[in-house]
Amino acid sequence: MSTCSVSKGCFVFKPNSNKRKRSSAADYFSKGNDDLDNSELRLDTCLLLWKQIKYETEQLQEDLNKNLFDNLIRFLRQSHLNFKEKKTEWACRMKSSEIPTAAVVLGVNVTDHELTIKSLSGVLQDDVTPFVVSLKSKECPGIKQLLQKVMIQLMGCDVDVDSSDEEEYPKTSPRRVCCSVASLTNWYRNVTKYDLQKTDTESPCKKRTFSSRHWETPPVIIIFKDMESFTTKVLQDFIIMSSHCIREFPLVLIFGIATSPMVIHKLLPHSVSSSLCIELFQCHSSKEHLTKVIDKLLLTSQFPFKISEKVLQVLINIFLYHDFSVHNFVKGFQLSLLEHFYSHPLSVLCCELQESEKRVKLLSHSQFENIRRLPSFRRFVESQVAEKQAALLTDDECLKETTQTLLKDLCSYHENYFPILRCLHAFTSSLPKYPLGKQIRELYCACLEKRVWERDEYESAIQLVRMLAKDELVAILEKCVEILISSSAKCLRKPLEKLEEYVDLLRNLEEASDDQKKSISSLEELQKKTDLYHLQKTLLEMKESRRTKKLTKFEMLRFEIVEFIDGLVRNYLAPAEMQTLHEVMYFSAANTLREHLNATPRAALHTALNNPYFYLKVGNKSETIGLWPHL
């Protein structure tokens, strides 16, 4: 069957039912790879890791949102209580046409909103009320569709929640198609035994019947997911209509706003927005979210998979310069994970230490050859003595043992790396002008790229640290102690003790006050009247004394501490590329990642049209000239 026709544009192909089989991702994974060695294991590892990562990021999102949601729920409770208590009061009756509204500023990263809204409606459903409706602007171009959507979702909600104890209710919610006003009325007559004519008066009555069963009148919450793209008219009409019957029908609106709260006033005229009682809520910024995500995904030794500096740069650049979307960042991370496991045959060893030691034992000869081919391993071999070299290059058994120890080294390297990185960050993040970056991700990039202590920025940072005041220094050192305590690495015990000692010393340090007194007295001397000659002389003396001035005890100690920190950095923060076997855990093909995530179709067309020999790999330009007039 061909897919070329002059009368049709869509072609459906169905396999014969007897032949039909489902092939899973695993098949394609192994088929796409040349060597069949443990491809299944690799895919399993990859999927397992991805599942963990996904779980972690979702957890993180929940934690971050918790604060916002708590505030929202408090607001809902408050407004609802007000509503109930003051129902009889005259003042409230005056105000009762106001709809309590929460405007949530979500930020421009539209991609992440979906998850936030979903968890929000979940939380509201659990804690506040069973009636939560969420509306997308795409679904309601007119007021009719909007009302229909609201009704359907409300009925669905009602039925879902009640069906456990109320058997007589129809389990299936009415189909969207037959949701005309008439059929709605019928449905209502059956359920509520009320005669109703119009859609917008139905809702209050329904409320009455349902609320008699609930011990309190639960509010109905309507979430407008994307406030900006709703048409003004629909919103206005809806708000005006529902504000008329708010007394019977406790309604709460939640607007999801991407830009700024100004947009409410832009979209709604004064007459409409005056019937809203708006309270503003701020969502956490996506930069902060990213910092948390990086913290969780990259700056731990929990996940064996790591990405190299270039890849991290690409991902962060896409985030900062294009979309601000954490969702896309995680997607990029997923892609790099997949690429790594797909393309690198040794990625099978990219797992927990015990597991990887087990896997080393099962490696085949060709895999060992792969290990020998790694550039970092070659470097390692060259640094060994001759007999050892020969053994490593020929004997698989010997290599197996070495590999195990090397993997262990790599693991402990990571364990030490991150606490020390955090300590260094604690120092540099408090400096003026942030020579090594404000965020820890910048510091991480700098450390991954090359030896951090060879950078000029590091030099200036250390200079600045040498000038820190005592209380600042104590604060930072205490932070470092905390970080080191929380990390479980064994080799960091000694630095930890040392640091604690320093903190104690600093606390107990008495200021060498006599030194200061002296300088003060010399200043006083200066202020006395003298002739020019004396003045000059005293000034010279002072200068001399300052140069040779003995350092205070504090300053001595400070130097010592700085030296110590410097040493720590040099010991533990060597870039990953210097480690042997780092290829197993680090994904470094930044280019492919960029191509697949942030492509440039325009540039591709340009090159293809200008110099096609770039793609065709034929000779040079002069040969092809004249042969490509066709396109």
Partner 1 sequence: TPAKKLKRGISSNLVEEYFEAHSSSKVLTSDRTLQKLEKKKLDQESLQNLLSNVPVAFAAEHEKLIKQHESLFYKWMLQLHLGFNIVLYGLGSKKDLLENFRISLLQDSVHLVVNGFFPNITLKSILNSVTEEVLNHLGTFRSPQDQVDFILKRFKEDASLELYLLIHNLDSQMLRGDKNQQILGQLSSLSNVYLIASIDHINAPLMWDQAKQSMYNWLWYETTTFSPYVEETSYENSLLVQHSGSLALSSLTHVLCSLTSNARGIFRLLVEYQLENKDNPSYLGLSFQDLYQRCREAFLVNSDLTLRAQLTEFRDHKLIRTKRGVDGVEYLLIPVDAGTLADFLQKDNDV
Q: Under a CB-based contact definition with an 8 Å cutoff, are residues 251 and 283 in contact?
A: no
Q: What 3-state DSSP class applies to 17?
A: coil
Q: Please list every residue from 24 through 43 that binds partner 1, using CB under 8 A.
A: 24-25, 28-29, 31-32
Pick the piece of the chain touching partner 1 (CB under 8 A) from 60-68, 109-117, 355-363, 440-448.
109-117
Radius of gyration (C-alpha) of the chain in whole angstroms: 34
Among 63, 70, 114, 497, binds partner 1 (CB under 8 A): 114
Amino acid at the residue 309: E
- Strands (DSSP E) found in 238-376: 251-257, 276-282, 306-307
User: How far apart, in whole angstroms, are the C-alpha atoms of residue 66 and residue 266?
Assistant: 30
Consecutive H or E run containing 581: none
To partner 1, the closest distance from the beta carbon of 339 in angstroms equals 9
Shortest approach of partner 1 to residue 319 CB, angstroms? 13
Q: Does 533 bind partner 1 (CB under 8 A)?
A: no
Does position 596 interact with partner 1 (CB under 8 A)? The reply is yes
Please name the helix (run of DSSP H) or strand (run of DSSP E) that holds residue 347, with its range, or none: none
Task: Using CB under 8 A, pick the residue from 327, 422, 558, 582 that binds partner 1.
Answer: 327
Between 206 and 327, CB nearer to partner 1: 327
Question: DSSP string of 141-191?
Answer: SSHHHHHHHHHHHHHHHHHHHHTTT-TTS-SSPPPSTT--HHHHHHHHHHH
601 counts as binding partner 1 under rule CB under 8 A:
yes
Whole-Å CA distances, 185 to 157, 168, 208, 410: 18, 19, 16, 70
Between 257 and 424, CB nearer to partner 1:
257
Residue 332: burial class (beta carbons within 10 Å; 0-12, 13-18, 19+) = buried
Pick out residues in 339-358 that bind partner 1 (CB under 8 A): 342
269, 609, 621, 625: which one contacts partner 1 (CB under 8 A)?
A: 609
Least distance (Å) between residue 239 CB and partner 1: 23
CB 200 within 8 A of CB 245: yes
CA–CA separation, 261 vs 107, rounded Å? 11
Residue 48 makes contact with partner 1 by CB under 8 A: no
Q: Is the CB of 42 or the CB of 425 nearer to partner 1?
A: 42
Region from 92-100, 187-195, 206-214, 592-600 binding partner 1, contact rule CB under 8 A: 592-600
Q: Which CB atom, from 6 or from 94, has the smaller least distance to partner 1?
A: 6
CA 203/CA 208 separation, integer angstroms: 9
- Is residue 19 part of the contact set for partner 1 (CB under 8 A)? yes
Q: 218 and 130 in contact (C-beta within 8 Å)?
A: yes
Binding mask 158-187 for partner 1 (x = CB under 8 A): ------------------xx----------
Stretch that binds partner 1, among 120-128, 213-221, 478-486, 597-605 (CB under 8 A): 597-605
Residues lying near partner 1 in the complex (CB under 8 A): 3-4, 8-15, 19-25, 28-29, 31-32, 109-111, 114, 138-139, 176-177, 226, 323, 325, 327-328, 331, 334-335, 338, 342, 595-599, 601-602, 604-605, 608-609, 612, 615-618, 624, 627-628, 630-631
